[in-house]
Amino acid sequence: MEVSLKNQVAIITGASSGIGIGIAKCMAEAGATVIINHSSEKSTESAHEVLKEIKEAGGDGMVIRCDVSKEEEVIAMFAEVVEKYGTVDILVNNAGIQKDAKFTEMTLDDWNAVIDVNLTGQFLCAREAIKEFLRRGIDTSRSVACGKIIHISSVHEIIPWAGRANYAASKGALKMLMQTLAQEFGAEKIRVNSIGPGAIKTPINKEAWETEEARDSLMELIPYNRIGTPKDVGNLAVFIASDLADYISGASIFVDGGMTSLESFDGNG
């Protein structure tokens, strides 16, 4: 049974690093034309390196710089993709940031920065994607669905995270955004889901896994006893975006090795 995204165009936000790279590569391998979104001059080289690797492996796509928290930049990104490729079939709302602080020391700027990218950015991109899906309508040569949106959330949409109230609040809100969009646009055959990664091995969280002591502490939270990889998330994203998952909408699916079972409570409940 082939999981295919052939003839489809996918925008992956925050695709110049970490989980975004894994999703972009997996979707390209499944046949999608991938748009590698990144947000700054600092990430330009990395974004182009991702696209180079995808093309060397036989895939195709383009790089677009866009700060997803800026409405005018999001609108321009979607217009550029539609002009070049004719439409957008898949949006993966992956871009996200952390600005951690004890709650009583968290500044309004720290709060707003995380909400602006993690929540408002996903709202803006989803809005433009749905507009394009509705404009195009269903094209069964591409997919049986009118369009697919995947919000990259976190296990922290359901697990509190002390010292990161802004991040946890943004991910909890994403769950309601996702489910509301699935409800509102289901009749138009637009599918909306979330992926909630747990501990994924990326450079941004290497302090949690790079030493034996840190890894052992992390494993106390993961029943499956290994840290995840960006490809673990990418493989699920491909499936959710494919027609094999056509009856899945409004769902949060966790890629966490069982972290949401709260293993730390094992024997202490």
Catalytic residues: 167
Give yes or no for a contact between 250 and 244, defined as CB atoms under 8 angstroms apart: no
End-to-end CA distance of the chain: give it in Å, rounded: 42
For residue 229, the number of C-alpha atoms closer than 13 Å in the C-beta half-sphere is 6
- Asked if 169 contacts 184 with a C-beta cutoff of 8 angstroms, the reply is no
The pair of structure tokens assigned to 15 is: 């695709």
Length of the chain, please? 269
Q: Which of 122, 258, 256 lies closest to 201, judged by CA? A: 256
CA nearest to 166, candidates 226, 82, 100, 232: 100
